[in-house]
Amino acid sequence: MGDDSVSSEDTPEVQDVLDALDDPACRAILQETIEPMTANELLDACDIPKSTLYRKLELLSSASLVREQETINPGGGRVTYYERSFEDVTISMDDTGTFSVSVDRPPKSTDERLADIWSMMGDEV
């Protein structure tokens, strides 16, 4: 019933992953995002400037290591949460010298899949 196919987001480019993991600010963000956090919470936890935080979140998103989730704020508007989107990252090299990356991800709950669908619908409107 569910679509368990692998999207391009599940197989990031090796260089994107290496760039993100090589960056101290990105590693700090990854350490904090075990549970979903807002940008303001991450600013406090990681002690980095706001402009730097958003650049690093973009780098982590490009590497498919962090995902964004939007929720509706009861007081109005949307709140964006950032969460680490992997359990394990493996970089390997085959016999021809070609590097590859494997990202193990936790299974998404039904609520998370539904939230993703709603988010995509909101983007199209």
DSSP assignments along 4-37, one per residue:
-PPPGGGS--HHHHHHHHH-HHHHHHHHHTTS-B
pTM to 2 decimals? 0.75
Q: Between 21 and 114, whose confidence is greater?
A: 21
The Cα–Cα gap between 19 and 12 comes to 12
78-84 and 88-93 beta bridge pairing: unpaired
- Phi, psi (degrees; rounded to nearest 5) at 84: -60, 135
Q: Cβ distance 72 to 78 under 8 Å?
A: yes
Domain residue ranges of the chain, discontinuous segments joined by +: 12-108
CATH fold for the domain made of 12-108: Arc Repressor Mutant, subunit A (1.10.10)
For residue 99, the Cα-to-chain-centroid distance in whole angstroms is 22
Which tens digit of pLDDT belongs to each residue from 57-109?
A: 999 999 999 999 888 888 888 899 999 999 999 999 999 999 999 888 887 77
Checking phi first, is residue 50 left (phi over 0); if not, alpha (psi -120 to 50) or beta?
alpha
pLDDT of residue 10: 63
pLDDT grade for 9, boundaries at 50, 70 and 90: low
The Cα–Cα gap between 40 and 50 comes to 8
